[in-house]
Structure formats: structure tokens, C-alpha cells
Amino acid sequence: MSSFDQSKLNEYFEDEKDILGDLIVDFFEELPAMLEPIKKSIEELDASGLQISAHTLKGSVSNFFAAECVEHAYFLEKMGRDGSVDASVAMESFNKLDDALKVLNTDLVNYSKGF
């Protein structure tokens, strides 16, 4: 099972594999800069910061139809929007998100070798 919906990705980027390849490279280059404010917001119990930074990551990773990553980012975004950051729950979700992103990275690199 893949960490992203390959059929949707193929359909969406049908004749634009070069753009998709660039998007994959750019996303993973920018990922540390997207994860850092999420982690910092959790550590500082900054609900607003968590909402904004998790929302940003959720939007970016949704380009790959990566449901598990989107789900974890949305959970953190919602926690921020609700205004109460439980540091231990949020950090657990952050770690799950980070793990899912690592799997996504491997899967997308392997997928992109085909074009």
C-alpha cells in the first residue's frame, strides 16, 4: 500500500510529470521549514501558530493525495483552531506526521524514478 493515491496523482498530473517532479523536490526541500514552526508552536503551546503552520503543511502535502499526512496535519490544525494545545497529544501527532512524511518521501522518490 502506498502512502499516496497514485491513480489520482497520475490523473491530476497526466502530461506534466516534469512539473510533478519539480513539485516533489521542492516540497521535500521546504519540508523542514514547514515542520519547524509546527514543533515550535507545540512546545510554546501557541494555538494560533499551530493552526496556521499545520494548515500550510496540510495544503502543501495534499498536492500528493497523501491522506495519512493530510489527516495528521489536519488534526494539529484543528487543535490549534480549537485554542487548546495539549503538548503531549500534539507531539504524538507531530511524530506520527513526521513518520508518515518520511514514508511519503520514500514512496514519491520511488514513484518519480519512473519518469
Domains within the chain, CATH numbers bracketed: 6-110 (1.20.120)
d(CA 7, CA 12): 9
Residue 104 has pLDDT above 80, yes or no: yes
Q: H/E/C letters for each residue in 28-87?
A: HHHHHHHHHHHHHHHHCCCHHHHHHHHHHHHHHHHHHCCHHHHHHHHHHHHHHHHCCCCH
Report the predicted TM-score, pTM, of the whole model to 2 decimal places. 0.93
CA-wise closest residue to 23 among 4, 51, 48: 4
Q: Specify whether the CB–CB gap between 106 and 29 falls below 8 A.
A: no
Task: For 63-102, write each residue's pLDDT tens digit.
Answer: 999 999 999 999 999 999 999 899 999 999 999 999 999 9
Q: What is the mean pLDDT of the chain?
A: 95
